[in-house]
Amino acid sequence: MAKDIGIDLGTANVLINVKGKGIVLNEPSVVAVDTMSNRVLAVGSEAYKMVGRTPSNIRAIRPLKDGVIADFDMTEQMLSYFIKKLNVKGFMSKPNIMICCPTNTTEVEKKAIRQAAEKSGGGNVYLEEEPKVAAVGAGLDIFKPQGNMVIDIGGGTSDIAVLSLGDIVVSRSLRVAGDKLNQDIVTYLRKKRGLLIGEHTAEKIKIEIGTVLKGHRDKEMEVRGRDVVKGMPESITVTSAEIEEALHDTMMSVIIAAHEVLSQTPPELAADIIDRGIVLTGGGALLDGIDELFSNQLQVPVVVADSPLDDVAVGTGYLLDKVEQTGK
């Protein structure tokens, strides 16, 4: 008997949850391809190491952009590779697969995700909206008649949703999230400090010294890159305060979207959210000072989920069980 699998098909990472085993795979959503022969050379962690470091005939591709499949063939190859790696397919049978997508995914995009999963060896393929799955994975009981609000900040998209009775009542999905924050750091250092850095370095800066709340963190870090003017390798010291400034505008755009969602929420559910607070999940929930920033701006209690990176994958497991019990 094939085991059911839940897939968090993220712009930055793919997580796979196998029924009865929990999360068995967590790898970057990257595929390395030889452009001459179009052959896939590496997938996941191996391919991620190659980002920004490849000779001209090898390209490290991220098949998902802003939470959407940008390169269908590569997504399919990547999924097939991960599913094969798990070896969950039983003899003659196909696993049921549940995949998550952002709330504003179009029908065409949904069809592409479904096809990629079917081609990579799935049986029945279910699609669920990401904030709903993240809320379940974060331990919220979304099936009761009460309001729950979740803000899921991933790599490509930030999904904001109010849920009640097992469904989304109001939601917004923004194509700004972790990747955009990395880009903000790259742009800031180029413009303000005249230093060119790569995506890996930006991610490292964000995690190690980054903050989104003024004065919340006071760290510095030596950053190496290339001087814009001289074109030579250069090393500078960057502070937390600079990173806060770099990330400010993108964080505000997420807060404005959260405001909009709250303003469209029915009053009864809004009252529940004031009582219960907002849950932050996704990799972005790990940003320093983010709960305080959101709480100050939205005037509502905000908590970070216990394991924000795993919530969507955990939620898929729970919802797959529910599908089996109810048949829908």
DSSP at 2: P
Is 283 annotated to bind a ligand? Reply is: yes
Distance (Å, whole) CA 273 – CA 74: 40
Here the tokens at position 224 are: 């190496």
- For the chain, how big is the Rg over CA atoms in Å? 20
Q: Is 227 exposed, middle or buried (0-12, 13-18, 19+ CB in 10 A)?
A: middle
DSSP at 277: -
Is 155 annotated to bind a ligand? Reply is: yes
Is 13 annotated to bind a ligand? Reply is: yes
Q: Which residues contact 105 (CB under 8 A, 6 or more apart)?
A: 67, 68, 113, 129, 173
If we measure between CA atoms, which residue out of 117, 161, 111 comes closest to residue 6?
Answer: 117
Is 144 annotated to bind a ligand? Reply is: no
Is 111 annotated to bind a ligand? Reply is: no
Distance (Å, whole) CA 230 – CA 79: 43
Is 206 annotated to bind a ligand? Reply is: yes
Is 12 annotated to bind a ligand? Reply is: yes
Is 124 annotated to bind a ligand? Reply is: no
Residue 131 Cα distances to 3, 68, 185, 290, angstroms: 24, 15, 26, 18
Is 231 annotated to bind a ligand? Reply is: no
Sign of the four-CA dihedral 62, 66, 71, 72: positive
Residue 114 Cα distances to 76, 82, 87, 250, 321, angstroms: 10, 16, 20, 31, 19
DSSP at 165: T
Is 202 annotated to bind a ligand? Reply is: no
Residues 136, 142: contact at Cβ < 8 Å? yes
Using DSSP, state whether 282 is helix, strand or coil.
coil
DSSP at 65: E
* Cα dihedral: 87, 92, 98, 99 (round 10): 60
Is 156 annotated to bind a ligand? Reply is: yes
| Known binding-site positions for ATP | 11-13, 155-157, 203-206, 283-286
| Known binding-site positions | 11-13, 155-157, 203-206, 283-286
